[in-house]
Structure 1
Amino acid sequence: MTNRAIRLHARNDLRLETAPDPAPGPGEVRVAVRAGGICGSDLHYWADGGIGTIRVREPIILGHEFAGHVESLGPGVTGLAAGDVVAVNPSQPCGACRFCDEGQPHHCLHMRFTGSAMFLPHEQGGFRDRITVAAGRCARLSPGTDPARAACAEPLAVCLHAAAQAGDMAGKRVLVTGAGPIGALCTAVARARGAAEVIVTDLQDATLAIAARMGATHTVNVASEPQGLTAEEAEKGRIDIAFECSAAAPAIETALRCLRPRGTLVQVGVAGTTPLPLNLMVAKEIAFLGTHRFGPEFAEAARLIDEGLIDVGPILTHAFAPEDCEAAFATAQDRSQAVKVQIRF
C-alpha cells in the first residue's frame, strides 16, 4: 500500500510523494493519519525555506499537528489497541539532559520535534498516510472523537502552557492580541479558566468572528477601529493579563498600554528581533513572560477536546485532500479567510 507524504524539497517546492512505511518495532505503533493541521512554522518552511536561522537542508515531510487511528502495534505495547483514536505528541525530549532532569523536557537540549528542520537529518513529519511512532507519544481519545478535532491537541497544548505562565485567571480581564489559531485557542482557555472578560484584537473581521465563537466577550478590529481599545488604556490600563499572539510590535505596545500596573503579558507569538517600549514596561512594573511549547499539557489538551470541555470546532475553517496540498498551504497563508487549515488523509 502506497504511503503518500507531503514533502518540502526547497522554498515553494512542495510535492506529494511516497514515504517509507516501516512496521512498528518494540514499543511502537503504526498510526493511520486522518488529519493534520498546517501550522505557522509549516508555512515559514514552505514560503521562506526556513524559520529564522533554521534552514531546510534536505527534503522534509512537514506537519506536527496530527491525529488518526492506531493501525497496528509492535511487540510489548499495552494501553492501546488497533482502531483507537490517537493524537500524536510531536515532542521527543532526550530524557537525559539537565533540563529533562530538572522536569523541563520542553527545554530539552536535544529535542527532536516532528516535522522540524532544526537538526540534520531533519525530523520527518506527520503529513502522510501512515507513520510509525513510539506508543508513549500517543494520547488515546474516545472512539467517537473526530480525529480532525484531536489533531488540535498540539496547538491547544501550547495555549494551556501559556495559561500556566499567566497564573490564575478567575474573574480577570484578559486581552488576546491576534485571532489566529493560537489566539482563538487562548481565548477558549481563558474563558474555561474563569476569565470574566476576554477582549480579542485582530486586523481581520473573519478571524474575529471565529474568536467570538471561541468565547471572546468583545472583539476589536484595530485596522477599522483604531480607537477601539481607548477605554482599556484609561487610568493606566484596565487589563489584568494579556496573551500576545501576533508578535507584531504595534500589538505588543497596545497590549502594554492596556495592561494595568503590575499586569502580566504572556508573549506567545514569536518573530525576530522586535522593539519593545521598555519605559512603559518598567513604569508599570509589567511581568513580561515568554512561553515555549508544552510538556504534560499535551495529554490535558487531548482530554479537554475528548470531553468536549473546549470546543475546537470553530477554528477548523478549511480542509483539503493531500493532492491539493499547495492550495491548502496558500489558503492557510490567507489570514482574511482561514484560521486552521487541515489536510485530511
Structure 2
Amino acid sequence: MRACVVHKAGDLRVEAWDPGLPGPGEVLVAATLGGICDSDLHYYHRGSVGDFQVRQPMVLGHEVVGRISALGPGTDGPAAGTPVAVHPATPCGACPECARGERNVCGHARYLGSAARMPHVQGGFAQRLVVPADQVRALPPGLDPRRAVLAEPLSVALHAVRRAGEVAGRRVLVTGAGPIGALVVAALRHAGAAEVIVSDLLDAPLAVARRVGATATVRADRPDDPAWPDCVDIAIEASGSAPGLGTCLRRVRRGGTVVLLGLLPPGETGFMGNAVVTREITMRGAFRFDREFDDALSLLASGLDVDPVISHTFPLTRAVEAFDLAGDRTRASKVLLDLDDLRQGSA
C-alpha cells in the first residue's frame, strides 16, 4: 500500500504505508478519492497549520471516500464493499465540551491528517486506512463518490453558516472564494440568503463562486469597485487573512455578525476592536463541524450544485504535481487525488 506523506515543509513523498489491521470497533477502508484542503497545502508548503507544526512524518488528508474492506473483530458496521465517506474527527466523548454537544471543539479530539497532537494523527491519503466504525457513513443511494468527497468541506461551510444565525432573507458578504468560501456560498443560498457577495484577489475563484450561487463578486484589491456593498447583515471571513477580517468588520452593519472561518496566520492578529465595541458587532469563530457531516451527505445526494468547485483529479502517484497545482489559485479550485489501487486515475 502507498500513501502521501509530508516529512517537513516542501518535502512530500508517495511511499509505502502499512495501515495495520482493524481492531475491535474499527474498520479498514479502501480509499478511492481524497480532496486536497488548504490545511494539507499549509503542511506541505509551510510545515504547519496555524500553531500546529509537523514534527514527524504524517499522512495528509481528511476529505476521504472509499469502500469498506474489512471489519475488526466483533465490529458492527457497513458490509465489505459498501461505499462510505469518512468523518475525520474522533472526539473524546468525556470532556465538558462533548457533554454540551460541542464536540467539534473537544480539546482531546483526534482529526485525520492533523499535527495538533503527538504522535500525529495519520490522515486519509492512503490506499488503506483504519478508522473507528462510527466514523464511516454509508453513501446515500445514487450519490457519486466524486460528489461525496466534498462532504467534509461542505460540513465546514454548513457549520459556519449555522454559526452566523438566521441567514434567510439576509445580505451576506463572504471574503475568500477558495473551495471553502465557494461551499459557504452554496450553503448560504440553500439556507435562503437573499444576497451573497463574494470578494477575492483573483478572478478564477470568483468565477467558481458565481457558478455556485454568488449574486455578486468583487475583487478585494479594488476598494472603489461599485460592486462592494455599503453594508451587510452578516460577513463570513473565509480567506484566513487579516485584510479579509478587516473587510468584514468595515462592511458589516451596526449590530451585525462576523464569522471567522479561515485560520489566520500563527500568533496574534490585530483587528478594529473599537468598531466591534461601538457598533456592537458580534464576532463568532467557526471550527470544523460535527453532525453537519450527515446533513452534507444528504444535501449532496439531493443535488446541491457544488460540482463547479472540483477542478482537477490526479492519481496518487502524481501527488506532488497535484499539490503544486492545488496551490495555484489562478488555475485550480478543489483538486482530488485518485487513491483507488484498482484503477488508474488521470489528470
Shared fold, TM over 0.5: yes
The answer to whether the aligner puts 1:312 opposite 2:306 as a matched pair is yes
| Shift in Å, 1:96 | 1.3
Is 1:340 the counterpart of 2:337 in the alignment?
A: no
Shift of 1:330: 0.7
Q: State the distance in 1 between where 2:218 and 2:238 align.
A: 15
CA–CA separation in structure 2 for the residues paired with 1:267 and 1:14: 30
- Give the TM-score of the pair, scaled to structure 2: 0.93
Aligned pairs for 1:205-244 within 5 A: 205-223=203-221, 225-228=222-225, 232-233=229-230, 237=231, 239-244=232-237
Q: 2:316 aligns with which of 310, 315, 322?
A: 322
1: CA distance, partners of 2:80 / 2:149: 18
Match of 1:328, as an amino acid?
A
User: Partners of 2:247 and 2:14 in 1: how far apart?
Assistant: 42
TM-score by length of 1: 0.93
Post-superposition shift, 1:231? 5.6
Match of 2:240 among 225, 247, 267: 247
The answer (yes or no) to whether the contact 2:159–2:288 under 8 Å persists in 1 is yes
1:264 corresponds in structure 2 to: 257
2:128 to 127, 130, 133: 130
CA contact (8 A) 1:34 1:148 kept: no
Question: Is 1:291–2:292 an aligned residue pair?
Answer: no
**Deviation string, structure 1 residues 195-236 (Cα, Å, up to 9, x no partner):** 11111111111111100111101111233x432257622xxx
Tell me the number of residue pairs that the alignment of Structure 1 and Structure 2 aligns: 337
Q: 1:123-144 deviations in whole A, cap 9, x for unaligned?
A: 1000011112111101211343
What does the per-residue CA deviation read over 1:252-302, in whole Å, with 9 as the maximum and x for residues that have no partner? 222222211111111111113222112222222111111111111112112
Q: Which residue of 2 aligns with 1:172?
A: 170
Give secondary structure in 1 for the equivalent of 2:229. Answer: helix
1:249 Cα offset (Å): 2.2
Structure 1 segments (4+ residues) deviating >3 Å: 75-79
In the alignment, is the contact (CA less than 8 A) between 1:4 and 1:19 conserved in 2?
A: yes
- The answer to whether the 8 A contact 2:216-2:227 is kept is no
Q: Which moved more, 1:178-187 or 1:38-47?
A: 38-47
Question: Residues 149-168 of structure 1 correspond to what in structure 2 (within 5 A)?
Answer: 149-168=147-166
Aligned partners of 1:34 and 1:67 also within 8 Å: yes
Query: Please, what is the CA RMSD of the aligned residues?
Result: 1.6
- Percent of aligned positions with the same letter in both sequences? 49
Seen in structure 2, the aligned counterparts of structure 1 residues 136 and 231 have a Cα distance that, compared at 3 Å, is closer
Instruction: Judge conservation of contact 2:50–2:263 (CA < 8 Å) in 1.
Output: no
Is the contact between residue 44 and residue 51 of structure 1 (CA under 8 Å) also seen in structure 2?
yes
CA contact (8 A) 2:140 2:298 kept: no
- Structure 1 unaligned residues grouped into runs of 5+: none
Amino acid paired to 1:202: D
Query: Does residue 274 of structure 2 align to residue 276 of structure 1?
Result: no
1:93-104 to structure 2, matched below 5 A, reads: 93-104=91-102
CA distance in 2, matches of 1:60, 1:14: 10
Q: List alignment gaps of at least 5 residues for structure 2.
A: 340-347
The alpha carbon displacement at 1:79 in A equals 5.0
Cα distance, 1:139–1:278 mapped onto 2, change above 3 Å: same
Superposition pairs for residues 3-14 of structure 1, below 5 Å?
3-14=1-12
Q: Distance in 1 between the 2:19 and 2:277 partners?
A: 55
Contact 1:171 1:194 (C-alpha < 8 Å) held by counterparts: yes
Q: Deviations over 1:150-182 (max 9, x none)?
A: 121111111111111111111111111100011
**What is the CA distance between 1:113 and its match in structure 2?**
0.8
Deviation (angstroms), 1:109: 2.1
Q: Counterparts of 1:228 and 1:250 in 2: how far apart (Å)?
A: 17
Question: One-letter code of the match for 1:265?
Answer: V
Q: Counterpart of 1:232 in 2: which secondary structure?
A: coil
Change (3 A) 1:307 1:231: closer
- Contact 1:31–1:69 at 8 Å: present in 2 too? yes
Q: Any idea what the Cα deviations from partners look like across 1:39-85, whole Å, max 9, x if unmatched? A: 11111111111123322111111101111112222344445122222
